[in-house]
Chain A
Amino acid sequence: MIPMSYYLFLSSILFSISLAGIFLNRKNILIMLMSLELMFLSINFNFIIFGNYLGDLTGQIFVFFILTVIAAESAIGLAIIVVLYRNRHSINVDDIGNLKG
């Protein structure tokens, strides 16, 4: 039997790697989206771990809904990237600040 804390450590390391990835890949918005997906994966990990620990299937149901929301989010994000590249011919994050908000 594997202790629950091992799984929790694994998911926290995964979350930290993806958070560092958002900081590192400032030039490439595609890899930023990929590290966002990894972050969602670690959150789903936590839902499944705690659902398993409490003997409740609600955690797995929540993972369902998170998966649908991520699929919609990544589709819209990739569409925005395609439109951005079509207009500006780069996916550099520093180039997107032309709204000067």
Chain B
Amino acid sequence: MNAELIIFYLFSIFLIISSMRVVISNNPVKSAIYLVFSFFCSAVLWLLLGAEFLSVILILVYVGAVMVLFLFVVMMLDINLSEITSGFVKYLNEGIFVFIIMSALLILFFQNQFADTNKNIITEIIIISDSNTKNLGYILYTEYILAFEIAAVILLLGIISAITLTHKKKSDNKFQDPDMQVNVKKEDRIFIVKDEDSK
């Protein structure tokens, strides 16, 4: 048993246990923390598969950005925990049934198709350089440049829609209306009041 296999078994067991805790845990904060841990374990496994850049990106983007977003939302919402856990037992049979059926089908399929394709795993993919990051950048900015631009547009769409959904309009907000400013007339600004007493 070499070191690679030991690391694989260790982190895959951690990954399965922590993803189960994400699903089972009744406190959303706890499940977010376990989600962070399962992302970390899968980043280690991606490192074993030779995807160095993506494993670092997974930790940076997920643990750094998306999980912080999740934790912010969990802490913003004041959720009644006892109400949430009451529905858990109700759907327990369906959940276990779905888990068993789905995992059995997938494992049977993979066992039949890919059980004897063990020797062909390539750990180093060399296109222009030894570095995984250089190869990825080379492919991304030449062959997939259009898809890269579309991904940027999708991120912009995410930003705009998230802001417009959650932006609260305040009634006492002070702002300028350029249309009213241009169209203002002399009569709107000055009222000439005739003084009756001075006559």
Contacts and interface: CB of A to CB of B under 8 A. Distances in A.
Contact of B161 (A1, A21, A76, A91): A76
B66 A16 contact: no
A45 B165 contact: no
Interface residues of A, number: 69
Contacts of B106: 12, 15-16
B125 A68 contact: no
A26 B4 CA distance: 39
B171 interface: no
Nearest to B43: A41
A4 B76 contact: no
A38 to B, nearest CB: 5
Contacts of A5: 110-111, 114-115, 117-118
A31 B31 contact: yes
A2 B8 contact: yes
B163 to A, nearest CB: 8
Interface string B97-136: 0111011001100110011011111110101000010011
A9 B110 contact: yes
B15 to A, nearest CB: 7
Contacts of B155: 68, 71-72
Contacts of B16: 10, 13-14, 17
A26 B86 CA distance: 10
Contacts of B12: 6, 10
A96 interface: no
A34 B166 contact: no
Interface string B59-72: 00100011001100
Contacts of A26: 87, 90-91
B74 interface: yes
Given A12-B107, A15-B102, A53-B122, A58 B139 contact: yes
- A-B residue pairs, 7 tightest by C-beta: A72-B158, A21-B23, A12-B106, A27-B87, A16-B103, A20-B99, A3-B118
25 contacts: A1-B121, A4-B120, A13-B16, A14-B15, A16-B98, A16-B100, A18-B23, A23-B91, A26-B90, A27-B83, A27-B85, A27-B88, A34-B22, A56-B125, A58-B139, A64-B57, A68-B151, A68-B155, A74-B69, A76-B161, A78-B70, A80-B165, A82-B165, A83-B166, A90-B83
